[in-house]
Structure formats: structure tokens, C-alpha cells
Structure 1
Amino acid sequence: MLKDDEIKRLRQAIIATVASPVIGSIEDYTWEAIFHYVKNIPLSDPALGRSKLLYDAVDLVTQTGWSLKSLQLNKLNIGSSFFFVIQRADIIKKAVQLGYPGLTEQSSPDALGAAIIQHWNEKIISSQAAQGVVNSYESILLKTIKGYEYIYCEFPLYPLDPNTFSWAWTVDKMTGLSGAGLQGSVTGKIELIWYKNQKQLFRARTIPAQAVCITVQRTRLTLDRYVETVLSALEDQINTQFSEDEPE
């Protein structure tokens, strides 16, 4: 979880971000940029290309990697659960590669579930190796639509044990037949849902008691003030870099 100084930096970064009139909400790369600021680690320019590997932020010194997610919920309550996409998992197309030749959507739930776990675990293991990650985490910023309430959650992120899961198709309430979602449960609690139509894998998380809650006043700069401020800061930064690079 975040240290006290990191919580302060997170709060400051959120205030600065929502003050920008060109940013609607904190999501995707905006959250990645904020997190890099919070952890004080280098941030690459997305125009140079973005990796499809699991970890959006990596501290090479501590060998720590974070998979970053930002989600909007109706309410932010400690102890409440939520689902979010963790991976596109076309396990049927990759059946042979995963070691499950002959796998189809009509295969048993347990066979499909085993392939789903294998697909996800391979993503974690290969990304850890490629990105030099030993300490693996999933870091999630939760927010409400009004943009002044935030919760930061952090969870260990390691390969799943397929033997702990039981699998069953959801039931269509209208027809009573098997639905489109395959649910993976651990001790009766749904942890994963795979939707066969979109090939998307969802994971359940519960907001922990130690989550960091942040409330800010949503104050926005005017467009003119924003552009003038950024251009002025940019000019100062360029001049500073030029003077530092200039030979004595």
C-alpha cells in the first residue's frame, strides 16, 4: 500500500489533473502518469509506443511492477465488490497453444476454466520475465462520476491456482438456459467471469479496509489560464534544459 508521502503526492496529482479543462476524468494513460508521479519513477512518452505487457509501471530498482486500472463506480464503500476486465482471453483460438487441443465452447466448464486460468497465468509469468518484475501488484483507482471521491486499492498479483476454482455457466433468467458467462468461484464466491461472445475475462475485487480514501474539491482552470500556464511552464523547462546542456 502507499506510504504517507505517496498518499500526499496522489492527492496533489488528482487535484492537478482534475483542474485541467482538457481532461474529463482520470483513466487509462492519465492514471498511469499519475501513478508514475506518485512512485517517482520515470514515465515514457506514449507517442513512442506502448507495451502490451501486463505491468503499466515498473520500478527497476526494487523489481516491482504494477498493473494499473481505473474504474468508475456508483458508490465507493469499503467492503463492496466490483468486477473489471483483466484480459481478452480467446481460449478457443489459442486452445492448442494453451495445451487444450479440441477445446470448444461446448467443452465442460472445468476444461474451459482450466484454459482460462492457464491463459491468464501465462500473461503474468511472461510479463514478469520480460519486465524484470519480482514483486507484482494490481493497483486500482476507483472514482465516482462527479470526480471528487477516489479510493486507491492495491492487491498482490500472482498466478492463480486452478485447483481452487469451480466453474459453471451463468443462467439466462428469461430462458432458464446457460448464459454467455462462465463463472469461476472459490469457496462459493465468484472470482472470475469469462464471456464467450466478447472473449473478455473479468475479475472480482473487494475494496479492502486499508484502502486509501481521498476526497478533493473539483476546481477547474479556465481554458485560457490552462494554456497560458502550461506554455509558460514549458518555456521555462526548455530554457532550463538548454542552459544545463550548454557547454561552459
Structure 2
Amino acid sequence: MLTENEIKRLKQAIIATVASPVIGSIEDYAWEAIFHYVKDISLTDPALGRSKLLYDAVNIVTQTGWSLKSLQLNNLKVGNTFFFVIQRADIISKADQLGFPGLTELSPPQELGAAIIQHWNEKLITNQSLQGVKNSYESILLKTIKGNEYIYCEYPLYPLDPTTFNWAWTVNKKTSKSGAGLQGSVGDKVELVWYKNQKQLFKARIIPPEAVRINIERTRLNPEIYVKTILVALQAQNS
């Protein structure tokens, strides 16, 4: 998790970001930039290109990598479960490559689930090697629609064990037929959901008690003041 100094930097960065009249909310690259600032890691200009690798931030000294996500939720209470996309998993077209020849959407759920986990594990292990990561984490910034309440959650990120999952198709409540989502459960808890139409894999996470909660006064700068301030700062930085 974050140190006390990093928590302070996170709050300051959130306040500064939402103060910008040209930014609607903290998401995507804005969250990546904030996280790099919090961890004091150098950040490249997105105009130079952005990679599709798993880890959005890597500390090459400590060999620590973070996969970053930002989500808007209605409920930020401890213990709340939320789902988010972790991968586009087209396991049918990659069936042979994954070691599941002849796999179709009509294959047994357990076989489909095994292919889904194989697909995810290969991405995780490959990117750990490519990005030099030994300490692997998933760091998520949760926020409310009003943009004045935030929660930082951090989870260890490691390969999944396919033998612990039980897979079953969701059931349409109206038609009582199998739905579009294939759920992977561990015990009685749904941990993964794969949607065959979009080929997207969702993961479930629970807001832990140790999550960092940050509340701010949402104040927006006047555009005139913002532009003048930025131009002065640029001039000072380049002089």
C-alpha cells in the first residue's frame, strides 16, 4: 500500500487534477500520470506512443509493476464488490495457440474457463518478463460521480489457479436460458465473468478495510486563471 508521504502526494495530485477546467474526471492517462507522481516514477509523454503492456507503471529499481485502473462507483463502502475489465479474451480464435484445439462457445464451461485462465496467465507471465517485474500489483482508484470522494485499493497480481474455479453460464431471468456471461466462481463467490459477445473478461474485487480513503473539496479553477498559471509555469520550467 501507500506510505504516508505517498498518501499526501495522492491527495494533492487529485486536488490539482480536478481543479483543471479542461479535465472532467480522473481516468485513463490522468490516473496514470497521478500514480507516477505519487510513486516518483518518470513518466513519458503519451504523444510519443503508449504501450499495450499490462503494467502501466514500473519501478525498475525495485522491479515493481502496477496495473492501473480507475472506476466510478455508487457505493464506496468497505466490503463492496465491484467488477472491471482486465482483458479482451478471444479464446475461440486463439484456441489452438492456448492448447485447446476444437474449442467453441458450446464447449463445456470448465474447458472454456480453463482456456480463459490460460489466456490471462500467459499475458501476465509474458508481461512480467518483458517489463522486468517481480513484484506485481493491481492499483485501482475508485471515485464517486461527484468527484469529491476517492478510494485507493491495491491488490497483489499473480497467475490464477484453474483448478480452484467452477464455471457456469449465467441464466437469463426472463427466458431461463443460458446468458452471454460465463462466470468463474471460487467457492460461492464469483471471481471472473467472460462475455462471449464482446470477448471481455471481468474480474471481481472487494474494497478492503485497509483501502486509502480521500475526501476533497472539489474546486475548479477559472479557465483564464488556469491558462495564465500554466503558461507562467511552462516559462519558468523552460527558462
1:1-248 matched pairs, under 5 angstroms? 1-239=1-239
Distance 1:75 1:133 in 2: 33
Counterparts of 1:112 and 1:46, CA distance in 2: 36
Output one character per residue of 1:187-244: Cα deviation in whole Å (capped at 9) or x when no partner.
Answer: 11000000000000000000000000000000000111100000100010000xxxxx
Q: Secondary structure at the match of 1:21?
A: coil
Secondary structure at the counterpart of residue 202 of structure 2: strand
Deviation sequence 1:160-213 (CA, Å, 0-9, x none): 000000000000111101000000000110000000000000000000000000
**Which amino acid in 2 is paired with 1:170?**
T
SS in 2 for 1:203: strand
Q: Deviations 1:67-122 (Å, cap 9, x if unpaired)?
A: 00000001210111000000000000110110101000000000000000000001
TM-score (normalizing by structure 2): 1.00
Q: Structure 1 counterpart of 2:85, which letter?
A: V
Q: Could you list the runs of 5+ residues in structure 2 that have no partner in the other structure?
A: none
Work out the CA distance in 2 between the residues paired with 1:165 and 1:215. 37
Deviations 1:38-74 (A, max 9, x none): 0000001111111111000000000000000000001
Distance 2:98 2:50 in 1: 26
Runs of 4+ in 1 over 2 A off after TM superposition: none
The percentage of counterpart residues that share the same residue type is 75
Alignment partners' CA distance in 2, 1:30 and 1:127: 22
Describe the SS at the equivalent of 1:86.
strand
Letter in structure 2 aligned against 1:97: Q
What CA distance in whole angstroms lies between the structure 2 residues aligned with 1:75 and 1:155? 19
Please identify the structure whose Cα radius of gyration is greater: 1
Q: How far 1:138 moved relative to its partner? A: 0.0
Partner-residue secondary structure (3-state), 1:65: strand
Please, which runs of 5 or more residues in structure 1 have no aligned partner? 240-248
